[in-house]
Structure formats: structure tokens, C-alpha cells
Amino acid sequence: MRFSFFFACCMCFSVQAFALDSYADLVDELMPSVVNISTEKKVIDAKEGGIDNVMVDPALQGREALGSGFFIRNDGYILTNQHVIEGAKKITVVTNDDKSFDATIVGVDAPSDLAVLKISNATADKEHPLVFKSVVFGDANKARIGDKILAFGNPYGLGVSVSAGIISAKSRSIGLGEQQYLQTDAAINRGNSGGPMFNLQGEVIGVNAAIFTMRGASGVGFSLPSNIANWISSQIISNGKVRRGWLGMTVAHGIDKYTDKSGFVITEINEESSAYKEGLRVGDIITEYNDRLATNISDFLHFTETMEPGQALRLKTLSYGEEIRNVIRIQEMPEQELKDVTNKALSENRKYSREGLGEDVVYISELKIAVREAEPRGLTIVKIDSDSPLRGKGISVGDIILEADRAEIYSADNLLDNIRYAVFSDYRPLSLLIQGIDNTFYSTIELAKEND
């Protein structure tokens, strides 16, 4: 009996293992949905050692750029990356059966780097329009680290290719605005940009968007999650643009000192926003939104961004320890708010950590760090000593100090003034607002009493 049970288990395992030996059947099913995209335009070479979100064939410099895309509707609508078609004079789409079509741009969304195309001559015969195989969007939120995936694309202009791998990480920030990405070890190369990432159920869970490469190292791939891509492409097709919800505030993780309750502390608020007009102010703590606990800032930002302008958002907030219930009307995000200036400052100044110290670097002996002024405000950390009180606080070289004890920081002298006040108060802890790669957060720092 034991032998029979063991044999049956082995048989089940063998069948399962055999089923995973080949992706051929799944690839055959999915390949018709993927297209090659070429554009006549002048391209710019990507720099080594950075985030390569261009992914074009360098051999075609000055003549054309190559990328990938996939059908999201069977009547010829295609999703790709904006940078694939940016500045294009002509866009050509080649399907898996080697048929070529001209395509026009339906709309683009710069913050997500997505674009929707439409095959312009797909319905020349109105009685017998062409029908294309469209993808099915999956739920990237349900994807798990370790799940197997297939990445499709047009590497180096060779044609539609597929590579296999796993989801290596989720919710990655890579310096391209506020978007969070899926990370994969699947081979993604120049030309794969705009191609789909499928799970083993044949659902799209990401749009291949970027690779990170260092000299002598393999690249790490990043894909925009399907939930965001599906929402954005639907808005572009319906409205020609993306209407994002806007609260008019910036938040960070914080704790209310009166009640010790955690949530999102409001660090900036626009006086023209409905939130400000409803009485919310800098320093207030959001503890709940629409009956959800305020624990993950990325979830909160995505939730409010995807709300329709005019919808009501219910908030529970703490103001000087007093709990207040607010109802905020979501507004449409103004054009000038689409780019996060703090993230821009971070990505612009992150290069300083590789270039070494210069004349414009100031050493803060009390914190045992070297800093450089960032734009539009804050101080970029370019060096952290091994015995700095910032060590072990989740703070890294390249992060930006935005505030000290709730005072905005614009210069090293500005920061030193706040440090002196803390020193005069018997070296009381200093509260810093830090803009990191993944989020903005407060950190309490014990000041160093000795200068080494």
C-alpha cells in the first residue's frame, strides 16, 4: 500500500514536471497578439550604468527605432511605450504573420510612459474588417514573487521573441516618476520595450518598460503592472487622455505624537485643493481612507489617482490628537502636477553619489554626512560615514533631506541651524523628512556628540 501511494505521487510529480518542460503550446497561443513596431525617427543612445528605458537598436542610429507592442482590442488597438513612438514621423506595425500596417497614435500618457496606437488601414474593407487576436489583462496585484512569467518583445529588431523567468520583486521604484514596477530576471533587451509580460495562465500582468544595466553585469527588467496599464489604455481610448484623480497634497509615513497612532502625515497641501478647503492642513495624520487603513502610501496614491473627478473620498484624520472625519471631492489632476518634482530632484541628483565629492559639497559633522543642494529644494546625501547616526535608519546615499523638525530645508546652513537648536536642547533627537528611492518617510536621528 505504501509502495502504491509512493508510486502514484511520483507519477503526479512526473506529469507536472513534464508539463513545465515546454512553454511551446502557450507561446503558440499568445504570439499572434504581439507585434513589432518600427518608427522613422532620430534616436538617442542610452547611457551605460543607468536605467535604460529607451531600448532601441543602436545600429539603426538616425534611421529608425524598434520596439514592441500588443493588441488590446481585436479591431486594431495596440498598447506600447510612449518612448517607442515619441517623435515618430511614421509608425509601422508588423504582426506575427509578417503583415505590415501603418499605425496612428490614439493618445499617450507621459507619467506612465504608455501609448495607444490604432492600425489605420485595418478596416479598409468595411464589410470584412480585419480581426486581430487581443490579449486578456490579468491582475498584477495577485501576482507573487517567484511566479513564472513569459516576456515577449522584439530584441534588437530580430523579430518577436520570448524569454522565460520569474517575478523577482514587486513595487519597485526605478526613478521614472511615481510608478511602481514588477521586476523580473527574464531576458529583456533593447527592442523589448512595450512588449507584454504574461503569466502562465496566458494573461498580461505587465508591460515591459525598462532595464537596469551596469558594465559587465546582466540587466534587470522592469514591467509596468497590468492593472495600471489596463486603466490607462482604457482612458486613452475613451477620452484621448488620462484623467487622474487629485487630492492636492503630499503625504509621508508618520505617527501622531498625541495618540501614537500611525498613518500618512500631510507634508504639503495645495491651497486650491478641496482638501485644504475642507480644513486639512500640513501635519495632520490620515489614518483611514474609504474604510481602508492608511498603511501603504503607494496603494493610497494609486487608489486616489484612479478615482473619477467629482467622486467622494472619506478620510479619518488626526489633528493635534483630535479625530476628524472628512469628505473630500476628488479633483482632476492639473497638468503641472503630473510630474513629481521631488522624484525629479532625486533622479537628477542621484548621479552625484558616483561622481565623488566636489567644491559644492558640505560636510555636516553632527550627522557625519556630506550633502549637496538639490533642486527645487532639499539636500542630496552624497556620503555617509560608517559611524553616522543615519546608519541603520534606511537612509542611503542619493536620498534627499527635505525637512528637519518640520522646517523645509533649502541649504546646508538651513539644516545646520536646525541641528544647532537641537544641540542647544541637550542634543535632543532630530526629526528628518527623507525622500528615498521607494518612498518619503520621517526618521528620528540621535545627534553625534563627538566629531571624528
Residue 335 has pLDDT above 90, yes or no: no
The pTM of the full predicted model, rounded to 2 decimals, is 0.62
State residue 147's pLDDT score. 92
State which of 307, 337, 367 marks the end of a domain: 337
Spot the catalytic one: 52, 57, 109, 113: 113
Q: Is residue 8 part of a domain?
A: no
Give the pLDDT mean for 218-238. 86
Q: Is residue 3 part of a domain?
A: no
Q: Is residue 15 part of a domain?
A: no
Range from 237-241, 335-339, 360-364, 416-420 carrying the lowest mean pLDDT: 335-339
Residue 33 and residue 148 in one domain: yes
State which of 277, 312, 337 marks the end of a domain: 337
Residue 174 and residue 215 in one domain: yes
Higher pLDDT among residues 209 and 50, named by residue = 209
State residue 217's pLDDT score. 41
Measured distance CA(58)–CA(115) in Å, rounded: 22
Q: Which H or E run contains 16?
A: helix 2-19
Residue 177 and residue 205 in one domain: yes
Q: Is residue 11 part of a domain?
A: no
Q: Is residue 4 part of a domain?
A: no
Residue 87 and residue 230 in one domain: yes
State residue 351's pLDDT score. 33
pLDDT band at 338 (very low <50, low <70, confident <90, very high): low
Residue 152 and residue 126 in one domain: yes
pLDDT band at 449 (very low <50, low <70, confident <90, very high): low
Q: What is the dihedral of CA 170, 174, 179, 185, to 10 degrees?
A: -40
Q: Where are the beta strands (DSSP E) in 190-306?
A: 196-199, 204-212, 220-225, 245-246, 249-255, 262-269, 285-289, 292-293
DSSP string, 140-168: GGG--TT-EEEEEE-GGGS-SEEEEEEEE
State residue 62's pLDDT score. 43
Chain centroid, CA 220 distance in Å: 15
Domain count, the chain: 3
State residue 241's pLDDT score. 84
Share of the chain above pLDDT 90, in %: 29
Residue 346 and residue 325 in one domain: no
Residue 234 and residue 167 in one domain: yes
State residue 375's pLDDT score. 80
pLDDT band at 337 (very low <50, low <70, confident <90, very high): low
State which of 187, 208, 240 marks the end of a domain: 240
* b/e map 56-85, b = 16+ CB within 10 Å: bbeeeeeebbbbbbbbbeeebbbbbbbbbb
Share of the chain above pLDDT 70, in %: 76
Q: How far apart are the first and last CA of the chain?
A: 73
Chain centroid, CA 278 distance in Å: 30
Residue 213 has pLDDT above 80, yes or no: no
pLDDT band at 386 (very low <50, low <70, confident <90, very high): confident
pLDDT band at 424 (very low <50, low <70, confident <90, very high): low
Spot the catalytic one: 83, 161, 347, 388: 83
Contacts of 84 (CB under 8 A, 6+ apart): 37, 39, 65, 67, 68, 69, 115, 193, 194
Q: Is residue 233 part of a domain?
A: yes
pLDDT band at 157 (very low <50, low <70, confident <90, very high): low
State residue 178's pLDDT score. 57
Chain centroid, CA 253 distance in Å: 19
Residue 313 and residue 435 in one domain: no
State residue 64's pLDDT score. 56
Domain at 407, CATH number: 2.30.42.10
Spot the catalytic one: 38, 112, 193, 226: 193
232-291: pLDDT as tens digits: 999 999 888 888 889 999 888 888 888 888 899 998 898 989 999 999 999 899 999 999
Domain at 168, CATH number: 2.40.10.120
* Catalytic residue flag (residue 113): yes
The residue range of the domain holding 206 is 23-240
State residue 153's pLDDT score. 82
Give the pLDDT mean for 45-57. 38
Residue 340 has pLDDT above 50, yes or no: no
State residue 47's pLDDT score. 40
State residue 197's pLDDT score. 93
Contact 83, 193 (CB under 8 A): yes
Residue 435 and residue 362 in one domain: yes
Q: Is residue 27 part of a domain?
A: yes
Range from 22-31, 67-76, 189-198, 339-348 carrying the lowest mean pLDDT: 339-348
Higher pLDDT among residues 447 and 4, named by residue = 447
In a 13 Å sphere around the CA of 387, the CA atoms on its Cβ side amount to 7
Residue 203 and residue 331 in one domain: no
State residue 218's pLDDT score. 53
Q: Which H or E run contains 15?
A: helix 2-19
Q: Is residue 13 part of a domain?
A: no
Q: What is the dihedral of CA 223, 227, 233, 238, to 10 degrees?
A: -170
Contacts of 403 (CB under 8 A, 6+ apart): 267, 409, 431, 432, 433
Give the pLDDT mean for 2-16. 39
277-310: pLDDT as tens digits: 999 999 899 999 999 999 888 788 888 988 888 8
DSSP string, 67-78: EEEEESSTTSEE
* Catalytic residue flag (residue 83): yes
State residue 148's pLDDT score. 93
132-146: pLDDT as tens digits: 999 999 999 899 999
> Beta partners for 164?
150
Measured distance CA(312)–CA(328) in Å, rounded: 6
pLDDT band at 121 (very low <50, low <70, confident <90, very high): low
Residue 329 and residue 346 in one domain: no
Residue 122 and residue 221 in one domain: yes
